[in-house]
Structure 1
Amino acid sequence: MDLNIPLYVFLFFALFIFFSSFFTVKQQTAAIIERFGKYQSIRHSGLQLKIPIVDKIAGKINLKIQQLDVIIETKTKENVFVKMKVSVQFKVIQDKVYEAFYKLEYPHDQITSYVFDVVRAEVPKLKLDDVFERKDDIAIAVKRELNEAMTTYGYDIINTLITDIDPDIQVKNAMNRINAADREKSAAEYEAEAGRIRIVAKAKAEAESKRLQGQGIADQRREIARGLVESVDVLNKVGINSQEASALIVVTQHYDTLQAIGADANSNLILLPNSPQAGSDMLNNMVASFTASNQVGEAMKRAKAFDKTEKKSTPKPPTPPHLPESGDVEGYDSTK
């Protein structure tokens, strides 16, 4: 029985040695093997073998792409403080696992320091509006600086992104007010332009309406004049002279107007004079005025004709005799 105890111990030790000789490494991971504290080798994914007790796994490094978010507070050229969030995507170069594991102990802190340095060197050169517009340029500058520094330590910077720019709350409110004022200004300008267009269009429409209305009135009056001429011609043919015909037409239009006014029950228009004898009085007055007008016209024509006759019959005054020059006084004959 006592002899079996060493056997069990030996078997246990053998199994321990056997199982400790094998280990596995996950995909996209690298294991660093040290022998008595000294670097021995790098093992990649799969089943691996090491010498028990002599070799040990010093550590494992993730070969996947990682992201580090860095929040930085800095100021712009006009002394406006902003908070910026910079996302750095990086990974360990597969051929430089040794440098990544032994040369740099805290890669996140190192990357953060470089991001702070670049951002605080670039942003103070720009105004706040330019920071928003040129954030890609800042991200490129961060990536360039990080690549130059981190490649030595076995890290590759895949990309850098500025994912957030947050100014001070008071500055943000002021920017919102400025933006709102600009939009209100643009809206007022558009409304004013729309009002101007409506006014111009309305004025053009009114002008066109007045033009067409005037043209219609002119056409109406032209047709009325033609009708009056035809009416006068018809009355002349039955022995009524032009004066009486014109007066008769005016009186007829007077009665037509009275009839049109009476046809509208809601009309409050009064035509003066509107007495029963107004028509006959108007006819007599117009005939008398036309007759007097013709007599005055004939008298003026005779007066003009008489003036022309008098001017033709009046003799011209005699032409004065020719006087000699001062040097010819002695030879001048006064009897001539």
Structure 2
Amino acid sequence: MEKFILIPILFFGFIILISAFFIVNQQTAAIVERFGKFHSVRQSGLQLKIPLIDKIAGKLSLKIQQLDVIIETKTLDDVFVRLKVSVQYRVIKTKVYDAFYELDYPHEQITSYVFDVVRAEVPKMKLDDVFVKKDDVALAVKAELNEAMSTYGFDIIKTLVTDIDPDAQVKQAMNRINASEREKIAAQFEGDAQRILIVEKAKAEAESKRLQGQGIADQRREIARGLEESVEVLNRVGINSQEASALIVVTQHYDTLQSLGEETNSNLILLPNSPQAGSSMLNDMVASFTASNQIGEAMKNARKKEDD
């Protein structure tokens, strides 16, 4: 009979002994209460408590945690926008008591502060400034949270504005504005390119005309030099300048006719083009030269008489 009573006692004692030991995981803190009152904070490892007297009231993670808060608010230029703010926080190792007993729902407390700061800061900015100064908003949230949550044993590691989402109609309008700006810039570049092409073409044409004129001037200069040399050669054999000029003109006339005759596809007609054209041209030139000489002699004689 005593054996049957002893076995349950031993078994019950073994269970109580086993319950005296507990394990706390890495980066975790356990809150131990004695008779319902806070007794101690136990860190990671194998821990001992008094069975039936001490109990584990709860455990807190000491790891960095993240809370994403989505807020909808209005900007200074009356645009509704949704912001996603990510808050990274953790329990301060030396303030586990405060973190466990001061707040029942730390997530809700953090969310309330984020809402309060964002809705105080963003309405002061225009939509474009919200995108540019999102880091300023994040820093303002972090400063406010650190001041408030450190009292409750929480350390705010970092706050980030991870998303800014304006109203759908506003986004469409912004896209149209950006597209118009890009088209305007593209048109300006195309206009500049076209203007450069026109200027360069005009410069090329001007240079071509200049070179063409220079070539014609050089050609005429060489022709004049050749005529001068021809007249000098004819003068050496007793032909005066008037007769030499007439002879050169007639020679060039027949050379031109010959070159035209060699071009089978040419439709050019040189007037006059009769067989007697050369002799007629020569007679006319000689007559004109003779008349010119007579007029010149008469003018010289008249001057001499006036001088006398």
Output the CA distance in 1 between the equivalents of 2:80 and 2:304: 106
Output the CA distance in 2 between the equivalents of 1:152 and 1:65: 18
Output the CA distance in 2 between the equivalents of 1:204 and 1:86: 61
1:287 Cα deviation (Å)?
Answer: 2.2
Q: Structure 1 277/13 Cα, relative in aligned 2: closer, same or farther at 3 Å?
A: same
Per-residue CA deviation, residues 103-128 of structure 1 (Å, 9 max, x unaligned), is 11111111111111111111111111
Q: Residue 272 of structure 2 aligns with which residue? A: 273
Per-residue CA deviation, residues 303-334 of structure 1 (Å, 9 max, x unaligned), is 45555x38xxxxxxxxxxxxxxxxxxxxxxxx
Q: Structure 1 195/301 Cα, relative in aligned 2: closer, same or farther at 3 Å?
A: farther
1:136 Cα deviation (Å)?
Answer: 1.0
1:70-219 aligned at under 5 Å gives the runs: 70-219=69-218
1:301-316 aligned at under 5 Å gives the runs: 301-304=300-303, 306-307=305-306, 309=307
Output the CA distance in 1 between the equivalents of 2:176 and 2:300: 87
1:86 Cα deviation (Å)?
Answer: 0.8
Q: Residue 242 of structure 2 aligns with which residue? A: 243
1:237 Cα deviation (Å)?
Answer: 1.2
1:302 Cα deviation (Å)?
Answer: 4.1
SS at match of 2:163: strand
Q: Structure 1 171/22 Cα, relative in aligned 2: closer, same or farther at 3 Å?
A: same
Larger displacement relative to structure 2 (250-259 or 18-27): 250-259
Output the CA distance in 2 between the equivalents of 1:264 and 1:13: 134
Q: Structure 1 33/306 Cα, relative in aligned 2: closer, same or farther at 3 Å?
A: farther
Q: What is the letter of the counterpart of residue 12 of structure 2?
A: F
Q: What is the letter of the counterpart of residue 79 of structure 2?
A: V
Q: Structure 1 299/117 Cα, relative in aligned 2: closer, same or farther at 3 Å?
A: farther
Q: Residue 223 of structure 1 aligns with which residue? A: 222
Q: Structure 1 102/239 Cα, relative in aligned 2: closer, same or farther at 3 Å?
A: same
SS at match of 1:214: helix
Output the CA distance in 2 between the equivalents of 1:70 and 1:305: 122
Q: Residue 19 of structure 1 aligns with which residue? A: 18
Q: Structure 1 205/47 Cα, relative in aligned 2: closer, same or farther at 3 Å?
A: same
Q: Percent identical across equivalent pairs?
A: 75
Q: Residue 3 of structure 2 aligns with which residue? A: 4
Q: Residue 28 of structure 1 aligns with which residue? A: 27
1:290 aligns with 2:268: no
Q: Structure 1 107/293 Cα, relative in aligned 2: closer, same or farther at 3 Å?
A: farther
1:31 Cα deviation (Å)?
Answer: 0.7
Output the CA distance in 2 between the equivalents of 1:51 and 1:12: 18
Output the CA distance in 1 between the equivalents of 2:302 and 2:163: 106
Q: Structure 1 263/7 Cα, relative in aligned 2: closer, same or farther at 3 Å?
A: farther
Q: Residue 325 of structure 1 aligns with which residue? A: none
Output the CA distance in 2 between the equivalents of 1:164 and 1:301: 108
Per-residue CA deviation, residues 218-271 of structure 1 (Å, 9 max, x unaligned), is 111111111110011111111221112112222222222233333333332222
1:254-273 aligned at under 5 Å gives the runs: 254-273=253-272
Output the CA distance in 1 between the equivalents of 2:273 and 2:36: 135
Output the CA distance in 2 between the equivalents of 1:5 and 1:258: 153
Larger displacement relative to structure 2 (161-170 or 199-208): 199-208
Q: What is the letter of the counterpart of residue 105 of structure 2?
A: Y
Larger radius of gyration: 1
Per-residue CA deviation, residues 57-93 of structure 1 (Å, 9 max, x unaligned), is 1111111111111111111111111111111111111
Q: What is the letter of the counterpart of residue 100 of structure 1?
A: A
Output the CA distance in 2 between the equivalents of 1:246 and 1:57: 135
Q: Structure 1 117/228 Cα, relative in aligned 2: closer, same or farther at 3 Å?
A: same
Output the CA distance in 2 between the equivalents of 1:302 and 1:71: 119
Q: Residue 38 of structure 2 aligns with which residue? A: 39
1:7 Cα deviation (Å)?
Answer: 2.2
Cα RMSD, aligned residues only = 1.6
Q: What is the letter of the counterpart of residue 275 of structure 1?
A: S
TM-score of the aligned structures, taking structure 2 as reference length: 0.95
Structure 1 gaps, min length 5:
311-336
Q: What is the letter of the counterpart of residue 243 of structure 2?
A: E
Output the CA distance in 2 between the equivalents of 1:274 and 1:6: 157
Q: What is the letter of the counterpart of residue 86 of structure 1?
A: V
SS at match of 2:140: helix
Q: Structure 1 20/285 Cα, relative in aligned 2: closer, same or farther at 3 Å?
A: same
SS at match of 1:163: strand
